[in-house]
Amino acid sequence: MYQAIILGSILLVLLYILKRARVRDTRLNMPPIPRYKIPIIGHTYSYFFNSEEFLKQCKKEHGDIFSIYAWGQVKTIVGKEYSHEILAREETFSFKRAFVERVPYAVLLKNMGLITPATLLKDHVFYKLSSYSERMQKSLYSTAQKHFNISDQPKVFDNLYHIMTKIVSSTIANVYIGEEESKHDEIIAAFGGITSELSIFLMVPPFLNLIYPGLHNYAIRTLVKSGLFNPAAKYRDVLIKHIKKQVCKRLQEKEKYGNSWKRPDDLLQDIIERDGFNPNNINYSLLSDQIFVLLFPSIHTTAGGCANLLMDLASRPQYIQELYEEQLEVHKEADENGILPFEALNNMNKLDSCIRESLRLTGHIVTLEHMALKDYTFSNGLQIPKDRIVDIYADDVYQDESLQGPNPKSFEPFRHVDANVSASKIGKSYLPFGGGKHACPGRHFAVSEIKFFMHKFILNYNFRTESGKIEERIRIGPYAFPSSSRIIIEKRIK
């Protein structure tokens, strides 16, 4: 037993020395690394448990670009002055490479190498937003009514993110695989389950990297491959069943009705009509994976955005009446069924400002993790090596008065009303959807969903936090997630 302890201790020391050698690479003029007292642990404790103050002190002492040693590896933190270099140089910095280090799509999906998610979203969702408008609203409103189900008495709800995931999943199912399938509880549960379970990969800290860099990544891939935790395998049969049902039905109806066949307008139909689709040899696994890969970014961002905004306003009910009056005016454009034209979204100026402010104050201390694809020299002369993880220092952007205006830390819902910047418009002072050529192509879709949902919700309900206080986001290390605190919702008396 003692021999095992001694050998284990020697191994840990050797691993630590090897890692320190990597940190001290003298080939490059690398960013400064603050001193730390605990070997192997490095800055991990401060970074995880006191991220806001720790990074603020690091910047004060070391400038706009610095590195920290956390979770067994060096990562570089870049402040507002140089963050644009990361977002503008897609040939050097990859968000996708960093993301798949955390969420192992390559082993989750058999056909990942054949899928281009950004292209699917841009070509088959973004450019067709207006045509999806009516279906989005009907799905959002009917599903919200089902899950909130408020009669004459106020009701208390907690975990808004969980509820919003179900509501948004129904809308995404409608747009992605058809209105008929979006009415099946099984497919809605699958869409929501995929989103919730993939988020676990982001929430679990890479503590195994304290033993050796990359061990966490290796472990989660082993976990997925073994089937012990594989959301794709868990829900793949459900997706394939519903997709196969729709494809077979559509091919049969097209053959039967010919030119009089009414073509379904959704992402699935767009995909099966792309070049290379062979109706006599259908790869249902590929079709399933193409839908699967879009679910997390499509549902998580929108559900989280709605949950955060609801809590932000419930914490500050004094602003709801002004939003209600705006939405009353906008609702005059609705048809007899209460459906708004897509263009009505442009008249929700105050609501749009609220959404932008809520997304701005999402709570992340750092954001938009990228991986360096090659050695890079910043414009100030500091250099980082290939494969270095780089985070943008979100607090440095969002707490800067010159970028945000007075009181940048406070939630001011109408801050952006006169600024001529919509909630989906990216820029150096606003990063929830990334930036540059690879900014999220689904951001317009997400903001449209949030607007349609909030329009009807504000018209129908009053809401406030049960505590009567401002409820903050849940903080896990430097990242934030929607609050699970309780809110009280009651029908609005009209």
pLDDT band, residue 421 (cuts 50/70/90) = very high
Q: How confident is the model at residue 280 (pLDDT cuts 50, 70, 90)?
A: confident
C-alpha 392: how far from its chain's center?
16
Confidence at residue 437, expressed as pLDDT on a 0 to 100 scale: 77
Instruction: Provide φ and ψ at 80, rounded to 5°.
Output: -65, -30
Over residues 343-350, the mean pLDDT reads 97
Residue type, 220: I
Cβ burial, residue 494 (10 Å; 0-12/13-18/19+): exposed
Q: How confident is the model at residue 63 (pLDDT cuts 50, 70, 90)?
A: very high
Q: What are the CA-CA distances from residue 125 to residues 132, 175, 258, 276, 446 (Å)?
A: 9, 8, 26, 20, 11
Q: What is the pLDDT of residues 181-223, one digit of tens each?
A: 888 899 999 999 999 999 999 888 999 999 888 899 999 999 9
pLDDT for 20 equals: 47
For residues 47-64, average pLDDT: 96
Beta-bridge mates of residue 377: 383
pLDDT at 173: 95
Answer whether residue 395 shows pLDDT above 60. Answer: yes
Q: By percentage, how much of the chain surpasses pLDDT 90?
A: 76
Mean pLDDT over 254-282 rounds to 88
Query: Which stretch of 17-21, 64-68, 221-225, 272-276 has the lowest confidence by average pLDDT?
Result: 17-21
Averaged pLDDT, 334-363: 96
Distance (Å) of CA 470 to CA 316, 363, 390:
7, 14, 32
Each residue of 75-88: pLDDT tens digit?
999 999 999 999 99
Predicted confidence at residue 326, as pLDDT, reads 98
Question: In the predicted model, what is the mean pLDDT of residues 290-299?
Answer: 92
Per-residue pLDDT, 22: 47
pLDDT at 240: 95
Instruction: State yes or no: 58 annotated in a binding site.
Output: no
pLDDT at res. 438: 76
Phi, psi (5° rounding) for residue 301?
-65, -45
Q: Is it the case that residue 10 has pLDDT exceeding 70? A: no
pLDDT over 60 at 462, yes or no:
yes
Q: How confident is the model at residue 9 (pLDDT cuts 50, 70, 90)?
A: very low
pLDDT > 80? residue 145: yes
Give me 167's structure tokens.
């509501």
- pLDDT of 26 reads 59
The average pLDDT across 239-254 equals 94
**The pLDDT value given to residue 129:** 86
pLDDT band at 14; cut points 50, 70, 90:
very low
Other beta carbons within 10 angstroms of residue 40's beta carbon come to 15
pLDDT at 25: 53
Give the bridge partners for 487, in sequence order: 157, 465
The predicted model gives 21-31 an average pLDDT of 69
Candidates 1.10.260.40, 1.10.630.10, 2.70.150.10, 3.40.50.1980; correct CATH number of 103-306+429-494? Answer: 1.10.630.10
Do 299 and 443 contact (CB within 8 A), yes or no?
Answer: no
Least confident of 66-70, 211-215, 403-407: 211-215
CB contact at 8 A, 290 and 271: yes
The pLDDT of residue 23:
47
What average pLDDT does range 114-140 have in this prediction? 85
Contact 105, 73 (CB under 8 A): no
Q: Which tens digits make up the pLDDT trace of 95-120?
A: 989 998 889 998 998 888 777 877 88
Burial of 28 (C-beta count, 10 Å sphere; 0-12/13-18/19+): middle
Q: Please determine, for residue 150, whether its predicted confidence score (pLDDT) is greater than 70.
A: yes
End-to-end CA distance of the chain, in Å?
A: 75
Average pLDDT, the chain: 90
How high is the pLDDT of residue 350?
Answer: 98
- 247 close to 299: Cβ distance less than 8 angstroms: no
- Higher-scoring residue by pLDDT: 126, 311: 311
Task: Write down the pLDDT at residue 71.
Answer: 94
| Mean pLDDT (whole number) for 420-433 | 92
Mean pLDDT of 219-247: 93
Higher confidence at residue 24 or residue 208? 208
Residue 357 has pLDDT above 80, yes or no: yes
pLDDT at 5: 45
Contact present, 94 and 389 (Cβ < 8 Å)? no
Percent of the chain clearing pLDDT 70 (strictly above): 94
